[in-house]
A and B are shown apart, each in its own frame.
Chain A
Amino acid sequence: MPVNFQELSAARNQEWRNEMRNRLSAKERSNLPRVKMPEMEPRDRILGFKEVNVGLNEDAAVLESQRCLDCSTPSCISGCPVNIDIPGFIKLIEKKDFLAAARKLKETNALPAVCGRVCPQEIQCEAQCIYHKMKKAPVAIGYLERFASDCERLAGNISIPPIQTGKQIKVAAIGSGPASLTFAGEMAKSGYRVTVFEALHELAGVLSYGIPEFRLPKTIVRSEIAYLEKLGVVFEKNVIVGKTLTIEDMKKQGFQGFFIGSGAGLPKFMHIPGENAIGVYSSNEYLTRVNLMKAYQFPHYDTPIMLGKRVAVIGGGNTAMDSVRVAVRLGAEKAMIVYRRSEQEMPARIEEIHHAKEEGVEFLNLTNPVEYITDTAGRVKQMKVQKMGLGAADDSGRKRPVVIPGSEYTIDVDTVVVGVGTDPNPLIPRTIQGLEVTKWGTIVVNEETMQTALPEIFAGGDIVRGGATVILAMGDGKKAAESLHDYLQQKK
């Protein structure tokens, strides 16, 4: 999205901002060391599901905010998929007006407490920070975003941005993950009557079933939802669009615009022998049982999960890291990541890899499973793996893993979690006539507007991208909201 530098520079030229900038010299600011995120000790945190990152205290946050040079052309903003006014909110922290900082975030981001925790800032906003050019560590934008939004929540003083009234036009979001939530927030702010339809019994999609409590506490998610409810967004759970209710039904109910954010919910398997053995899970199932169904509190909760002692998680993404760290917390004596490339190619966030290692996870890189071996009851007891080498770069720009012949060996395991990615959920594309879908099952959209082949239907997030991040999904939701607004205005 293009950044409106004119607006930003007007905000930057306000008197208090000038005053704030002159308090410390750029040299003084740049000499401050980057703050460290306080964390629970590994030996304590693996005993439960408490949040690992504790969050900055006020002093640390203000000190870190002083590091921001308040650049005249802030490059960080273009690194953010929803274009948060980053220096704007950071300077409000420096001014110690934390609630105003939170409000500033909410102007562009409906879910700042979530983003402050799970966004890969190191490849987005923070990657664009001027400090890189000065060979210094970037401003900890993510920590500060989390700090400001946590302050607001803890103060119990959730602000509601101005809402335009009077449109009364009904629009629907399908799915309640980050893309849809952002879409819903933006549309509500523009005065539309928004209903979000969710298939499961719990809202927020991957934020609820996918990301574990120790990385994203569910109270945070619930409070972001409560904020959207205050904006007037209506949530309907247990509605499977295409089954319980079709787009045609919704049109009859008066809905004029639609956003599909149904996600990439279909787990990929590797189709190797023994993969249907007892004890072999998809990461989706493993994480859903734990996060959504609270199986880690079995039998207090009714949904069980196998408490593996020797757990192998296949894959190198964030989902794989989440799964293996769940396994540690469920009491695994040996928790392993089995990844076919090297650590350098891992798509997981560096912080996740680091946390996993601290928690005792073993990394079997350049290793790929070829078969699962079971006992007579059909339970997995061993996995046969082969060693891999790295060849020339492939389409993704990463070095292609190549099999090393004769390198097979077996590892004893009692639980396996397959976390090698997901495919888009075909349920909705399958039930909407006229929607254009790629051979991978993703919905085709105009990348500028997120509009599908059907003009009143927009789409974004993993159902379009196939498997990306929370913040990219949110960027899509935001873009789609703007485009749908334009579309509905023109139609009038």
Chain B
Amino acid sequence: MNKIVAKEMLSENVVKLVVEAPQISQKQNPGQFVIIRTDDRGERIPLTIADADKEKMTITLIIQIVGTSSHKIANLNPGDSLLDISGPLGKPTHIEKVGTVIACGGGVGIAPLYPIARAFKEIGNKLITVLGARNRELLILEKEMAVFADEMIVMTDDGSYGEKGLITAGIEKVLLREPVHLAVAIGPAVMMKFVALLTKKYDVATIASLNTIMVDGTGMCGACRVTVGGKTKFVCVDGPEFDAHEIDYDEMLKRLNTYKKEEQVSYDGYLKSLT
């Protein structure tokens, strides 16, 4: 159960795992996520499903190493198993033909964006992807996206690849140039906040997919609550996608920092245990 069948390092700190998940692989749709646990002392970690293979009955997970749990996942190898996987959780993305869709992915957010972008293309939209990363080394899934994207713009903070600048600069170039009917933004909360501000200016409907702290992922705990349009929503059951123009990003950013101190303590201890 839950056996890892393939592993690939996409960059120095981003790992891709293909995991056996017979039931979830059949049921998942773009935009949904799973909750995993590596071992019996481990946290329940939400991870967006980056891809699935119904025939091989596998799902693909892409994880950035940021702390104990992600590091534990990255240390697993083909043949190892995840202790628990449950899902698919959250509402799937509403995929429809709208005209032109701009898919904006920042950092490891490109992973969950990938199946969503592909689905928008497959249903008949013109798809423009704008990918942002700090530098060339950290850019992931560029080739995979290029297979189906009508146009691809890459932005790096340091100019080591594509164009130098923030992802918003690349998006704005498109918005100035042609009519866009829908934007999808997935990435760090700050990135989504500024993409939303930009698309609001151009009056382009935008959805953002949120990755908040969760415990159960089934609506039971409320750790993932965010304010959307002045109302409290649970990312796990009401989302993970919301109208990007209605999200209270500042509150979300603060809540993401809830356990900053504890996460550091845990990670320091974990790294020490590895040596």
A278 to B, closest residue via Cβ: B258
B47 to chain A, nearest CB (A): 14
B interface size (C-beta, 8 A): 41
Q: A243-B27, A278-B258, A378-B254 are in contact. Are A427 and B219 (CB under 8 A)?
A: yes
| Contact (Cβ within 8 A) A201 B44 | yes
Does chain B have a CB within 8 A of A275?
A: yes
Q: Is the CB of A425 within 8 A of B218?
A: yes
CB-based contact A302/B41 at 8 Å: yes
Given contacts A267-B222, A377-B254, contact A302 B42 (CB under 8 A): yes
Residues in B neighbouring A467, C-beta threshold 8 A? none
Q: B65 within 8 Å of A by Cβ?
A: no
Known: A243-B88, A278-B254, A289-B215. A304 touches B259 (CB 8 A): yes
Closest to A378 in B: B254
Chain B binding surface, main DSSP class:
mixed
The answer to whether A285 and B41 have CB atoms under 8 Å apart is no
- Mark each residue of chain A from 246 to 258: 1 if its CB lies under 8 Å from any CB of chain B, else 0: 0000000000000
Min CB–CB distance B88 → chain A (angstroms): 6
CA distance A275 to B23 in the complex (A): 37
Q: B255 contacts A278, CB within 8 Å?
A: yes
- Tell yes or no: A437 within 8 A of B by CB: no
Question: A432 → chain B, closest Cβ, in Å?
Answer: 16
Which residues of chain B have C-beta atoms less than 8 A from A159's C-beta?
Answer: none
Checking B41, B43, B220, B259 against A267 with a beta-carbon cut-off of 8 angstroms, the contacting residue is: B220
B262 touches A269 (CB 8 A): no
Are B221 and A244 closer than 8 Å at their CB atoms? Answer: no
Write the A369-385 contact mask toward B (1 if CB under 8 angstroms, else 0). Answer: 00000000110000000
Of A237, A244, A281, which one neighbours B23 at CB under 8 angstroms? Answer: A244
In the complex, A135 has a CB within 8 A of chain B: no
B199 within 8 A of partner (CB): no
Which residues of chain A are near B222, meaning CB under 8 Å?
267, 269, 281-282, 284-285
Min CB–CB distance B167 → chain A (angstroms): 26
Closest chain-B Cβ to A456's Cβ sits at a distance in Å of: 22
Q: Is the CB of B257 closer than 8 A to any CB of chain A?
A: yes
B88 touching A244, Cβ below 8 Å: yes
- Closest chain A residue to B260 by CB distance? A377
Stretch at the interface among B79-87, B132-140, B170-178: B79-87
Q: Is the CB of B215 within 8 A of A293?
A: yes
A residues within 8 A CB of B215? 285, 288-289, 292-293, 303
Q: Which A-chain residue is minimally distant from B215 (CB atoms)? A: A288
Q: Find chain B residues with CB under 8 A from A158 CB.
A: none
Given contacts A201-B37, A278-B257, A378-B254, whether A269 and B232 have CB atoms under 8 Å apart is yes
Hey, which bits of chain B sit against chain A, CB under 8 A? 23-24, 27, 37, 41-44, 68-69, 83-89, 215-216, 218-223, 225-227, 232, 237, 251, 254-255, 257-259, 262-263, 265-266, 269
- 10 more contacts with CB within 8 A, not counting A244-B87, A301-B41, are A244-B24, A244-B27, A276-B225, A278-B254, A279-B258, A284-B221, A300-B41, A304-B266, A426-B219, A427-B219
Question: What are 7 contact pairs spanning A and B, CB under 8 A?
Answer: A244-B86, A271-B232, A288-B221, A298-B266, A299-B269, A304-B263, A378-B257
Q: Which 7 A-B pairs have the closest CB atoms?
A: A378-B254, A304-B262, A285-B221, A238-B86, A265-B220, A201-B84, A282-B222
